[in-house]
Amino acid sequence: MKPVILWSDALIFLLVISLALFFWRLRNDPQTRERWAEVFSSRLGMVAFTVIAAYIMVALLDSLHFRRALENPESLATEEVFYDNKVTSVFDVLTGGMGERFERTYSAPFALLSFEKENIKDADGHDIRDFPPLRHAGQHLSHPDERAGDILGKSVRALLWGLLLCALVITPQWLLLRGSRFPWLASWTTQAVILCSAVWMVSLSRHYHILGTDQGGADVLFQSLKGIRTGVLLGTLATLVMLPIAVTLGVMAGYFKGWVDDVVQYLYTTLSSIPGILLIAASVLLFQVYIDLNPDFFAVGMEKADAKFIALCFILGVTSWSTLCRLIRAETLKISQLGYVQAAHAFGVSHTRILGRHVLPNVVHIILITFVLDFSALVLAEAVLSYIGVGVDPSMGSWGNMINGARSELSREPTIWWTLTGAFFFMFVLVLAANLFSDLVRDAFDPRTSLRRASA
């Protein structure tokens, strides 16, 4: 086994670590603590956060990549170890090889037979045209009629295991947080639902395709789960790229005013006057041309897909900083008029020190609100970009690619609805949780809304 660290893996772990450090440093600030307490004191906030955390967990597990060692054939008498060209992630292993059971083509959820007729031989050796049995579904059944009872039995057993796992995960939390003022019960319920369904999915997918298979015969449920990493990474990394540009320029424009302000304003007006989707599409296409002309850069196919993905994050970040920059500039303009900044000036404090100690901490709430708000917008944008053909690489599973591949299949008879359903469900849950959470964060951190509530 040989670990593989893709660029996006490194970046996402870096992001998670720096966010953890950021919150660790903030823990002593009473004001911030109070605001976060407000977010988490609602049951909705707890549920939304738990769901988002589960998605992030999946994304992180799916970001630990390695290449399996291949067993040397007997004839080859060498100590050298060869590695599989396919990159596997820890998440692939945890799902029990859900993604390694391919069929020939479409099959319906829980189906035993393929979706399309093929030429097969019947028991007497005659050629007939019928639906062939699937390779990896219901092999253990002696008769197709046993299917319903078998699914029910396996589900009950999976549920019991799931409850056992819940007990293991939730009991320590309960012991630790019994007297807490936060509605932990909501979070535990959500955790229980997620854990039980995870156990159910993994155990049933060993015998059936829960959400069927797609045109290439790949398991739809597994693809939907793989889409989680792409969605979460895109939503966070693109904002991460945008933040330094927007914050630096916005704070400088608002603080120094004069020609700096003019230049920054000119930059973001110009950028925002270009239709966003065209700018993104053009940049992605240009990068595509560059990759096509220099194919020798990447060792594994996955690295090329990953480079395209990182480039997409960068492009999305670089093209979308203008809104945040405008907000930060306006806030900095206001702050730099306030008495304590003037006083700092009078004491001869240097510009960098004023910016770092007096201005930046007071625009953090804007950054935070934008970070959460943009997350869901970016996840949604990924699907649209993939449809246009400038999204993530087709070899990298994503919800946009799934929708793109399946949208014409609704017109078939009988309808192939499962691919779209899978992508829809996992995307909808993530975006809904992120939207609800961002609403709560905004309510808690936006001084305007908190003022209004105080006066009401």
Partner 1 sequence: MFAYIVRRLIYAIPILVGVNLLTFTLFFVVNSPDDMAASQLGDKYVTPEAIENWKQKNGYDKPLFLNPDAAGVAQLTDTIFFDKSVRLFAFDFGRSESGRDITTDVATRMWPSLAVALPTFLVGIGVNICVALMVVMFRGTRLDRGAVFVFVALMSISYLFYIIGGQFLVAKTWRLVPISGFHTEGQVWKFLILPVLVGVVAGIGAGARWYRTLFLEEANQDYVRTARAKGCSELSILFRHILPNALIPILTGVVVLIPSLFMGSLLIESFFGIPGLGSYMLDAINSQDFAIVRSMVFIGSILYIIGLLLTDISYTWADPRVRLS
Q: What is the CA radius of gyration of the chain?
A: 26
Identity of residue 342 = Q
The nearest distance, CB 294 to partner 1, in angstroms, is 10
Residue from the set 47, 234, 325, 380 that interacts with partner 1 by CB under 8 A: 380
Interaction between residue 447 and partner 1 (CB under 8 A): no
Residue with tokens 């295991």: 161
Residue from the set 285, 338, 343, 451 that interacts with partner 1 by CB under 8 A: 285
DSSP 8-state code for residue 62: T
Return all residues near 34 (Cβ < 8 A) that are at least 6 apart: none
Which is it for the CA torsion 368, 194, 224, 300, positive or negative?
positive
Residues touching partner 1: how many (CB under 8 A)?
45
Task: State yes or no: cis peptide before 414, omega within 30 of 0.
Answer: yes
Binding span for partner 1 by CB under 8 A among 104-112, 150-158, 306-314, 425-433: 425-433
The nearest distance, CB 262 to partner 1, in angstroms, is 10
Interaction between residue 419 and partner 1 (CB under 8 A): no
- Of 151, 145, 120, the residue nearest 133 (C-alpha): 120
Binding span for partner 1 by CB under 8 A among 78-86, 88-96, 274-282, 326-334: 274-282
Which string of b and e fits 301-314 if b means at least 16 CB within 10 Å?
ebebbbbbbbbbbb
Cβ closest to partner 1, residue 298 vs residue 387: 387
Q: How far apart are CA 153 and CA 141, in angstroms?
A: 13
Query: Are the C-beta atoms of residues 32 and 65 closer than 8 Å to each other?
Result: no
Residue from the set 272, 323, 362, 450 that interacts with partner 1 by CB under 8 A: 272
| Binding to partner 1, residues 339-378 (CB under 8 A) | 376
Residue from the set 76, 123, 175, 293 that interacts with partner 1 by CB under 8 A: 293
The nearest distance, CB 319 to partner 1, in angstroms, is 11
Q: How far apart are CA 219 and CA 318, in angstroms?
A: 35
End-to-end distance of the chain based on CA atoms, in angstroms? Answer: 62
Residue from the set 54, 420, 441, 444 that interacts with partner 1 by CB under 8 A: 420
Structure tokens at 46: 């707890």
The nearest distance, CB 273 to partner 1, in angstroms, is 4
The nearest distance, CB 433 to partner 1, in angstroms, is 9
Q: How far apart are CA 426 and CA 195, in angstroms?
A: 15
Structure tokens at 223: 């693809």
The nearest distance, CB 442 to partner 1, in angstroms, is 11
Cβ closest to partner 1, residue 225 vs residue 403: 403
Interaction between residue 260 and partner 1 (CB under 8 A): no
Which whole-number Å values give the CA distances from 380 to 56, 99, 195, 371, 387, in the listed order?
17, 25, 26, 15, 11
The nearest distance, CB 21 to partner 1, in angstroms, is 30
Interaction between residue 83 and partner 1 (CB under 8 A): no
The C-alpha angle with vertex 91 and arms to 87 and 92, in degrees rounded to 5, equals 55
Binding span for partner 1 by CB under 8 A among 50-58, 137-145, 228-236, 431-439: 431-439
Interaction between residue 297 and partner 1 (CB under 8 A): no
Structure tokens at 133: 């049995």
Residue from the set 275, 339, 348, 414 that interacts with partner 1 by CB under 8 A: 275
DSSP 8-state code for residue 123: T
Sequence-distant contacts of 370-374: CB under 8 A, at least 24 apart: 370/239, 370/323, 370/324, 370/327, 371/239, 371/243, 372/434, 372/437, 372/438, 372/441, 372/442, 373/438, 373/442, 374/235, 374/238, 374/239, 374/242, 374/320
* Per-residue x/- track, 180-219, partner 1 (CB under 8 A): ----------------------------------------
Interaction between residue 161 and partner 1 (CB under 8 A): no
Interaction between residue 259 and partner 1 (CB under 8 A): no
Residue from the set 192, 281, 344, 367 that interacts with partner 1 by CB under 8 A: 281
Binding span for partner 1 by CB under 8 A among 29-37, 152-160, 222-230, 433-441: 433-441
Interaction between residue 388 and partner 1 (CB under 8 A): yes
Residue from the set 31, 142, 273, 352 that interacts with partner 1 by CB under 8 A: 273
Q: How far apart are CA 306 and CA 396, in angstroms?
A: 8
Identity of residue 59 = A
Binding span for partner 1 by CB under 8 A among 109-117, 201-209, 215-223, 435-443: 435-443
**Residues of the shown chain interacting with partner 1 in the complex, contacts defined by CB under 8 A:** 266-267, 269-275, 277-279, 281-283, 285-286, 289-290, 292-293, 376, 380, 383-384, 387-390, 403, 407, 410-411, 415, 420, 424, 427-428, 431-432, 435-436, 439, 452, 456
